[in-house]
Amino acid sequence: MLLTILLAASAHLANIQTARTDDWTAFQNPACLDQTERFQISAQYDNRYLLSALNTAQVQFGYCNPYVNVGIGYCFYGYSKYQEMQVGLSLSRRFGRFTLGLGANYQTIYAGDNLKYKGTFFPLIGATVDITSKFTLGVFTSNPFLQKIRITDDEKQALPAIYSIGTDYRFYKGFHWSVQGDYDPTSTWKVATSIEWQCVEAVNLKIGTYYCNCLVGCLGIGLRFGGFGLDTNVEVDPRLGVSLQVRIGYKIL
C-alpha cells in the first residue's frame, strides 16, 4: 500500500489555518481567502526532519474582490522513484459576518514506470463567522467523502480526509491566540494552539504546540516590509527531529 505524504501546510504556526482570516494558504480552508489586499502571491518550502527526501514545495496566487475571491495553488513532493502533486482552485465570498468557501483539488501519485501517474479529484468546503469583532470561528473539511486513488485494478490508495474546527481570538491589537482541532478518520486526530504577537510593526513572534501522537513544540518569526512577507517556522518532534518551513509572499492593495 502506498502512503500519501503530501499534506500542504499552513504558513501559520502548528499548521493552524481554519479560523485565521488574516491570511490564506492553498489547500487549507478556502473561506480564509478573504483579505483586504486585492492580489497575493507566495512560495513555500517545507522540510521534514532535515531530510532532503521529505521536501515539499508550494506556490499559490489569490485575487480578492467584493464579488468572488479566487485562489489557485500547486504543491509538489517527491524524488525520482515516488512523487505526489496537487493542484487546487478555491472560491470564497463574504456575506456580512459569514464567509463561505469551496474548493476543488486534483492529486496525483507517481510510483515508478510500472504504475505511472494516478490521480483523483476531491472537494474542499469551509466557512468562517465573526462571532464578535475580536473572535472568529472556522470550520473546514478536505476530502469529506473519503475519495481514493485507484493504483491498480485491485488496489486503491486512501487520501487524508480532514475535518477541522478552529478559533482565532484577537484580544489585543497585533495579538492572535488560535486553537484548532483536526480529525482524519483514516489515521488520527490533532489538537493545536499558537500565539502570534506583532511586537513591532515589521516583526511577528510566534510560539505554539500541537499534539498528534506526541507533543510537538513550535517557534516562528514573521517579517513584514510593505507588501512583502517572510515567515519561518520550526517544529521539534521529540521522536523524529526538527522540521523547517519557509514562506515568502507579496500582497498588493
Q: How confident is the model at residue 8 (pLDDT cuts 50, 70, 90)?
A: low
CA angle 34, 70, 227 (to 5 degrees): 60
**Pairing between β-strand 98-110 and β-strand 241-252 as defined by DSSP bridges:** unpaired
Question: Measuring CA to CA, which residue among 30, 15, 21, 48 is closest to residue 192?
Answer: 15
For 166-201, write each residue's pLDDT tens digit.
Answer: 999 998 888 999 999 999 987 789 999 999 999 998
For 21-71, write each residue's pLDDT tens digit.
Answer: 999 999 999 999 998 889 999 999 999 888 888 889 999 999 999 999 999
Instruction: Tell me the C-alpha distance between 92 and 109, whole Å.
Output: 28
Is 60 exceeded by the pLDDT of residue 5? Answer: no
Is 60 exceeded by the pLDDT of residue 142? Answer: yes
Question: Residue 6: what residue type?
Answer: L
User: CB within 8 A of 151, min separation 6: which ones?
Assistant: 2, 109, 111, 115, 118, 157
SS3 (DSSP) at 31: helix
pLDDT at 216: 95
**Long-range contacts for 205-214 (Cβ within 8 Å, ≥24 apart)?**
206/12, 206/13, 206/233, 207/13, 208/13, 208/14, 208/16, 208/178, 209/14, 210/14, 210/15, 212/188, 213/188, 214/238, 214/239
**Domain positions in the chain:** 13-188
pLDDT at 15: 92
Radius of gyration of the chain (CA): 18
Q: Which three cell numbers stand for residue 162?
A: 480532514
Cα-Cα-Cα-Cα dihedral sign, residues 10, 182, 3, 150: negative
DSSP classification of residue 173: T
